[in-house]
Amino acid sequence: MLFATATLAARIDKAEAAVAAEFAGAARARGKDVMIEPIAGTIAVYGGPGEPFNKIAGLGFGATLEEEALAALEARYDARNGEIRVEQSTLADPSVAMMLTRRGYELIGYENVLGLALTPAVVDELSQRMTQDRASDVVIDRARSDEIQIWIETVTDGFLQPDSFDGPPPTETFAREVLLDVYEGFVGMGSCVLYLARRGNEIAGGGAMRMSDGLAQLSGAATLPAHRRRGVQSALMRARLVDAAANGGDLAVVTTEPASKSQQNVQRAGFELLYSRAVLVRRAR
């Protein structure tokens, strides 16, 4: 059994904050006016309304959140008419959430963090299942340089047509042009690897993986509607996990909406629920 401690959650949330900062840095390099500010041992990023990397993750682990520093950060957001989104782990210092709610942050939802230890036994089983995937004509490869635009459009189209599920609504929705820009950001992240899935000769889906100090963060996975219920998501997951282990990964993590099809898929693959994050938002003032 994989058991989540505060130390493990801090490791995961530190990587989550680094992802947001890397996306923000890539957007800044493309000429966008992006704010990247340190706060209590983590990073706050904001790139304008509707940017998926707008967040503060990792508060409440280690460094103390000082109220004066938070007030100064809020003033910088207010100067941009920006909303602050905090993703707060249930394993972090609860005094942080108390401070945020006292200052007017509102709870709008939750997200779940799941993990899988990449033990030799797990990797061996995944490798065997990959052979079965290929026999079923589902093939996963890293996207070539001439397939980058295909990858961007594939995962965007898949994401914009989500499966229905018996759970709370997502805390965020995005327009197509925003998603295209976000997935272009994946391309600019040197730590991110892109994968394309094919069924026969047709592109069926795509996904991404970021490696950070042995931690494999799975994200960006989407299957085109015509290819769903054919094992594409599971094959994408197995290929990324085997790659992660081959590159020194000891733990894979994924963040999902509660009770979503994505959560169901990863739990079927052996992932276990580690902890949740509360999503708290402060409106611009």
| Any domain includes 249 | yes
Query: Average pLDDT for residues 38-46, to the nearest whole number?
Result: 96
User: How far apart are alpha carbons 216 and 45 in whole angstroms?
Assistant: 22
Q: Which pLDDT band holds residue 30 (cuts at 50, 70, 90)?
A: confident
Scan for tokens 């327009």, then name that residue. 175
Q: How many residues does the chain have?
A: 285
Region 52-81 average pLDDT: 95
pLDDT at position 135 is 78
Strands in the chain per DSSP E? 35-39, 42-46, 55-57, 84-89, 106-117, 138-142, 192-199, 202-212, 215-223, 251-256, 272-282
102 and 165 fall within a common domain:
no
Identify the pLDDT of residue 252.
Answer: 98
Quick one: tokens of 216?
């494999």
CB atoms within 10 A of CB 140: 24
| Same domain, yes or no: 100 and 122 | no
Q: Is residue 170 part of a domain?
A: yes
Average confidence score pLDDT of the chain = 91
Give the model's pLDDT for residue 178. 76
Tokens of 59: 């508060």
Average pLDDT (192-218) is: 93
Q: How confident is the model at residue 214 (pLDDT cuts 50, 70, 90)?
A: very high
30 to 24, 63, 152, 181: CA distances (angstroms): 10, 32, 17, 10
pLDDT band at 93 (very low <50, low <70, confident <90, very high): very high
92/128 same-domain check: no
- Among 49-53, 80-84, 196-200, 276-280, name the one with the lowest average pLDDT: 49-53
Q: Are residues 37 and 139 in the same domain?
A: no
**Are 55 and 122 members of one domain?**
no
d(CA 23, CA 188): 8
Say which CATH number the domain at 223 has.
Answer: 3.40.630.30
Same domain for 82 and 180? no
Q: Are 47 and 126 part of one and the same domain?
A: no
Domain presence at residue 259: yes
Q: What is the pLDDT of residue 157?
A: 87
Domain that holds residue 13: 6-112+277-282
125 and 242 inside one domain: yes
Task: Give pLDDT tens digits for 143-169.
Answer: 998 998 998 999 888 888 776 677 777
pLDDT at 201 over 90: no
138 lies in a domain?
yes
pLDDT of residue 186 exceeding 80: no
pLDDT at 37: 96
- Overall domain count for the chain: 2
Q: Is residue 246 included in any domain, yes or no? A: yes
Distances (CA, A) of 198 to 116, 186, 223: 25, 20, 10
Cα 140 vs. chain centroid, distance in angstroms? 20
pLDDT of res. 133: 83
150 and 21 part of one domain: no
Domain check: are 56 and 144 in the same one?
no
pTM above 0.95, yes or no: no
